[in-house]
């Protein structure tokens, strides 16, 4: 069955970097766009970034543009989020999520999430 498993979360100091990974299985990863969505403690969902199936189209939320980079390795069925210049407000559970067929930018499946804590 379909699975998305995030990893790479942890505690990091402000200004430092962290790289999240999301291992996909149970579907044709290279055929689908992929998203990152986050949820800060006690807050709602915030969309972060999306990448098309071949990596040719990428969009970011303004709050992370210039600091975060979404990428993918279709040969390894893995999605990444490189997070640089981390701030306290980046503390959140980060979810990897699958886009719907035909690149609608509709999220139809989510991973369990990984917690990133930015703190000195």
Kindly list the residues in this chain that would bind other proteins in the complex (CB under 8 A). 35, 37, 44-47, 50, 59-62, 95, 100, 104-113
CB of 79 to other proteins, least distance (A): 15
Alpha-carbon distance of 47 to 9, in angstroms, equals: 18
Write the DSSP string, 14-66.
TT--EEEEEEEESS-GGGS-EEEEEE-TTS-EEEEEEE-TTS--EEE-TTTTT
CB of 44 to other proteins, least distance (A): 4
Q: 3 or 15: whose CB is closer to other proteins?
A: 3
Q: 14 or 71: whose CB is closer to other proteins?
A: 71
CB of 49 to other proteins, least distance (A): 9
Nearest to 83 by CA among 69, 65, 97, 71: 69
Q: 81 or 107: whose CB is closer to other proteins?
A: 107
């Amino acid at each position: 069955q379909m699975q998305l498993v995030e990893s790479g979360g942890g505690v990091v100091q402000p200004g430092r970097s962290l790289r999240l990974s999301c291992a996909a299985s149970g579907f044709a990863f290279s055929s689908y766009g992929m998203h990152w969505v986050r949820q800060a403690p006690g807050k709602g969902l915030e969309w972060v970034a999306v990448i098309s199936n071949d990596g040719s189209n990428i969009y970011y939320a303004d709050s992370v543009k210039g600091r975060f980079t979404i990428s993918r390795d279709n040969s390894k069925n893995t999605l990444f989020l490189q997070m640089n210049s981390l701030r306290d407000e980046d503390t959140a559970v980060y979810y990897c999520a699958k886009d719907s067929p035909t690149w609608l930018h509709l999220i139809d499946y989510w991973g369990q999430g990984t917690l990133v804590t930015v703190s000195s």
